[in-house]
Structure formats: C-alpha cells, structure tokens
Amino acid sequence: MATLHNKFCNFTSMDMLSIDHILKRNQLSVTDSRKKILELFKEHNGALAHNDIEKKTGEKFDRVTIYRTLQTFVEKGIIHTIPTPDNSVRYALCKDECSKGHHHDNHVHFVCDICNVTYCLDSVVTPEVNLPQGFKPSLIDVVVTGRCKNC
Amino acid sequence: MATLHNKFCNFTSMDMLSIDHILKRNQLSVTDSRKKILELFKEHNGALAHNDIEKKTGEKFDRVTIYRTLQTFVEKGIIHTIPTPDNSVRYALCKDECSKGHHHDNHVHFVCDICNVTYCLDSVVTPEVNLPQGFKPSLIDVVVTGRCKNC
DNA sequence: TAATTATTTGCAACTTTGTTGCAAACCTAT
DNA sequence: ATAGGTTTGCAACAAAGTTGCAAATAATTA
Ligand SMILES: [Mn+2]
Ligand SMILES: [Mn+2]
Ligand SMILES: [Zn+2]
Ligand SMILES: [Zn+2]
C-alpha cells in the first residue's frame, strides 16, 4: 500500500480514496473544501464545532462554505450533530449505516469539562426512557458531561 | 385568600409573595424585570428561550437585562438550562432543592417537534449510563424529541 | 422618613454566529 | 474540449450574545 507524503497530509492513499468514495457514494461532487473538512473529521478523534473547522482550515475557505458543507454532510448522513450543555453545536462522523435523512447514531456522547473534547461513545447505547402517557419519542439525545479518560 | 385582578396579571397574592420570596431567599434585590421574568416562568408550563421572554415582555426590558437576569437565575439555582437538538438554549424553573451552584434537575426533557413546547418530565428520572473505563460523569442530560401528548 | 450606599438597569458600541442572493469558478459528463 | 449543473466566495444582512459605564433603582443606615 503506497503512502502519500506531502507536508499537508499524512493520510495513506487508502484514506484519500475513502474520502473521495464517501463523497461520490452520496452523489456529492468532490471539491477541495469537502475533502478537507472530511479529512479533518477523519484525523480528529472526536467532535468538531464550526469554529474548530474554521481555525483548522486557516483562511482557506469561506465561512459560508463551511456552514453549507456541514449542512450538506448532515443531510446526507455523513456527520451527525451533538447538542451540548453550553449550546454550541458539534459535529461528528456517522457510522456507515447512516444515510440521507436517516441517522442511526444511537450512542451516548461525552463532553469533557476539562479538555473540552467531545466523544462519541459508540459502545454505549442510548438507554430506554419510559415516557408518560401520550409522548411519542422519535429521537433520544444523551449527553454526559464530566472528566474524560485522558484528564 | 385574596386574588389580585388587573389586566396584566392573573396571579393570586400568594403567587406574588412566593415570587418575592424566591428572590429574597437568593439574596437578590426585588426588581421589576426579575419579578416579571419569574412570573413568566411560573405561569408558562414549559421551558422558555431568551427570545420567548423578549417577546412576552414586549419592549418593557432591555435585551441585555434579560440576558443578565437569566444568567443570575441559573447561577442561583432558580432556573436550569436545557440543551436542544436545534441548539437554542431553553430555561425552566428548578425545583426547590436546587441552590447556588448546585443543580439537582435529574429529570428527562422532551421537545415536541410539532408544537415546539419543551417539557420538564419531572416524573422521568435520568437513566443510569455505563461509561467506559476512565470516564467520570458529573451531569447527564437526556433530551427526547418527538410528538407530545397534546399534538 | 430621609440620606447614604450598593446593586441593577439601559444604552451604545461591539463581537460572534448564522443566512441569503448572485456572479464567477469549478466539477462532471458527454 | 465543451456544455451544463453544482459549488464557491463575496457582499450585505440579521440574529444572538458581550462589555463598560453612567443613570436609575433598591436596600440599608441614620
Ligand atoms: Mn456521535
Ligand atoms: Mn427541566
Ligand atoms: Zn478531557
Ligand atoms: Zn406538541
């Protein structure tokens, strides 16, 4: 397996192919901004906020483009949103099962108070909740705040 | 028990006293804006966003005052915040056990997709979550979205 | 009750975050 | 290589949130 080595990217060619593939699979044209933002999600182990992406890409892309790219990715089921107590939307990569308008990210999220990293705890399945009579759930978000394993 | 009847308020004198009492108990001076905002929370059965309060109070108070009042109330444990998937902070009255810097609102929240009302489901206690090794929870937010009992 | 002190408010000015329309640039397919 | 559809960046705007400070209000003291 060949490895690409330029100063901007420490991805293997397989990773690159997979990024292109994710876009194509979702009928999205392969553009610089979409590739770069997907790369960021792949290399960053945790969730990213709009602002994180803006910083990590430097001045490379317009703010509007980032907003639109994130929207598109959410719609296509490539990333999902995570509500947080401090009310800043964060985004993380979906598993392969998610698709256009159909998310299946039924895992618990953890936001570290100290390092501020947001984890997708894929192994922790969203618990059952017994709602009062008449309430019909369609989505359950569980966000745990505390001290993470690295802090 | 006497009842106050003017066009602005359908509160009993007991309610009014209790509003004053909540403020005094928390070492807050009793001002028009604080009384009015607390009143809104008492009469509205559900959570309110900053914007709801701005609308319901008309032009009566400055936007900044509302921001500061909500902050103060959260700090004192009079209201608590509710994270929502659409990322608009909402606030709801705490039970009496909450106090300065020490919230005990361990109940599930429900946001209706249709009428958009946010409920504190006081009877539904936050479920246990088994976190992976090394993660120490300090707060668990459970937000359920769906169709409410009135929709 | 009146004067004094401490707290809160409103305003202005500003920053950050998010939205929209449109022409130029880019990607894809022929 | 070209044509057609899509995406991007820009500009202009709207909404949300923050800060400093002087004036107004509430609490305390005399
Ligand atoms: Mn996740
Ligand atoms: Mn609540
Ligand atoms: Zn941490
Ligand atoms: Zn409803």
Q: What is the pLDDT of residue A95?
A: 80
> Residue A103, exposed/middle/buried by CB under 10 A (0-12, 13-18, 19+)?
middle
Instruction: Give the residues of chain A that fall short of pLDDT 70.
Output: 1-17, 96-104
Q: What is the pLDDT of residue A39?
A: 96
Each residue's pLDDT tens digit, B53-97:
999 998 899 999 999 999 999 999 999 999 998 888 899 999 866
Q: What is the pLDDT of residue B12?
A: 47
Q: Check pLDDT > 80 for residue B149.
A: yes
List CB contacts (< 8 A) between A128 and chain B. Answer: 127
What backbone torsions phi and psi does residue B135 show, to the nearest 5 degrees? -90, 125
Does any strand D atom come closer than 7 Å to the Cβ of A34? yes
Q: What is the pLDDT of residue B87?
A: 80
List CB contacts (< 8 A) between B149 and chain A. Answer: 132-135
Does any strand D atom come closer than 7 Å to the Cβ of B31? yes
Domains and CATH numbers, chain A: 13-146 (1.10.10.10)
Q: Check pLDDT > 50 for residue B8.
A: no
Q: What is the pLDDT of residue B2?
A: 32
Indicate the residue of A134, A141, A148 with minimum beta-carbon distance to B135.
A148
A63: left (phi over 0), alpha (psi -120 to 50) or beta: alpha
- The nucleotides of chain D lying under 7 Å from a protein CB are 6-12, 16-20, 25-27
Q: What is the pLDDT of residue A5?
A: 34
Q: What is the pLDDT of residue A1?
A: 31
Q: Check pLDDT > 50 for residue B6.
A: no
Q: Are A75 and A135 in contact (CB under 8 A)?
A: no
Q: What is the pLDDT of residue A8?
A: 35
Q: B144 CB near a chain A CB, below 8 Å? A: yes
> What is the number of residues in chain B?
151
Q: What is the pLDDT of residue A2?
A: 31
Does any strand D atom come closer than 7 Å to the Cβ of A68? yes
Between the CA of residue A141 and those of A13, B84, B113, B145, what are the distances in Å? Answer: 36, 9, 14, 8
Ligand nearest to the CA of A146: 3
Whole-prediction pTM value?
0.84
Each residue's pLDDT tens digit, B86-144:
888 899 999 866 666 666 678 999 999 999 999 999 999 999 999 999 999 999 999 99
Compute the average pLDDT of residues B49-53: 95
For residue B76, what are its two tokens? Answer: 């004192």
Average pLDDT, chain B: 86
Of the residues A50, A74, A108, A125, the best mutation for testing chain B's interface (the one with the most B CB atoms within 10 Å of its CB) is A108
> Residue A13, exposed/middle/buried by CB under 10 A (0-12, 13-18, 19+)?
exposed
Q: What is the pLDDT of residue B54?
A: 95
Q: How many CA atoms lie within 13 A of B88 on its CB side?
A: 11
Ligand nearest to the CA of B135: 3
Q: Check pLDDT > 50 for residue B1.
A: no
